[in-house]
Structure 1
Amino acid sequence: MNDVSDLLQEIKNYYWVNQYLATSGQPTPEQFKIIQDAGYDVVINLALPTSDYAIVNEGAIVTGLGMVYVHIPVVWEAPKLEDIRLFFGVMESLSGRKVWVHCALNMRVSCFVYLYQKLKLNLPEEQASYPMSEIWQPNEVWTQFIEDVKGALSAIA
């Protein structure tokens, strides 16, 4: 039988960020149990209900396992400053808890986690950009979003 860490590796675009944070693409319904078994007690979903691989009853699955479920639907083609502000607030409220953040493919999540690590945790660029730097080079929409967020929030972060 595989241990939990081996099973986590099977989740689409899974990245362990630190002892309190992991990110991925969309887990399957069965993989949420593995996430819970790994000690995560909060799942944040940044995908839309209509995103590729979305699970209609995801919130019920996650809460049925005794985990907290937070859904912040971020439009892929038009992420908003309000989305990142909400994400920052949720992340700050969960300090010290094991949090799993996912979207369809871990692309929008990786940008949100980058901005959180850069602007809120003040990590150096190389460290803050993980796992984004491993997953993708943000396209024009997301590059502009990153720059807009840095401009809007760096002074007040």
Structure 2
Amino acid sequence: MADPDDIRAWQRLDAEVTTSGRIEDKDVMRLADLGVAHVINLALETHPEALAGEGGKLAAQGIAYTHIPVPFDAPGEDHFAAFVKAVEEGPKPVHVHCIMNWRVSAFFYRYNRDVCGMPEAEARAMMARQWSPEGHDSKEARVWAQFIARTLK
């Protein structure tokens, strides 16, 4: 089955990892058909575009589910540590999403740079396919610029 081109901000990072913005009811079966074994959701379940009952709907298709609710105005190191653990220890293939694929792209930027050792420019280019907080003048963009500037100690 080909990658869907109508799931918001869909991106394949490699053979084992895909990302996107929000998913809808119709996407649950599509993810199963693609062979996705694990979904990690970084969005808040209270967001108006969040898929209600997402974990249960995925479980009904045999897909493991990890929810790491990351407030858009306050991404933390605890969120990033939970993300790294879920990506590394959870079943593969994995699909990681939020609402716009902005949280996800920033988390994978740090993961690729700090955990996988990807060159910074390559990791940044991958993030920029979806979003980059630099150049945006908002409180949230400044928070995300600070978040991606951090490195693992």
Task: State the distance in 2 between where 1:28 and 1:56 align.
Answer: 9
TM-score computed with the length of structure 2 as normaliser: 0.90
Task: Give the match for residue 132 of structure 2.
Answer: 137
Unaligned runs of 5+ in 2: 134-140
Q: TM-score, normalised by structure 1?
A: 0.87
Superimposed CA distance per residue, residues 117-151 of structure 1 (whole angstroms, 9 cap, x where no aligned partner): 11111111233235311112212110011123x1x
Would you say 1:71 and 2:67 are equivalent positions? yes
Say if 2:95 is the partner of 1:100.
yes
Stretches of structure 1 that go unaligned for 5 or more consecutive residues are: none
Residue deviations 1:20-69, cap 9 Å, x none? 10000011111111111111110000000112410121111111100000
One-letter amino acid of the counterpart of residue 5, structure 1: A
Aligned AA (1:63): A
Q: Please say if residues 40 and 86 of structure 2, whose CA atoms lie closer than 8 Å, have aligned partners that are also in contact.
A: no
Tell me, what secondary structure is at the counterpart of 2:2? helix
1:147 is aligned to 149
Greater helix share, structure number: 1
Distance across 2 between alignment mates of 1:108 and 1:124: 20
Closer, same or farther: CA 115–48 of 1 in aligned 2, 3 Å:
same
The alignment-based identity, stated in percent, is 34
Distance 1:42 1:5, change over 3 A: same
Matched, 1:111 2:106: yes
CA contact (8 A) 1:17 1:130 kept: no
Cα RMSD between the aligned structures?
Answer: 1.4
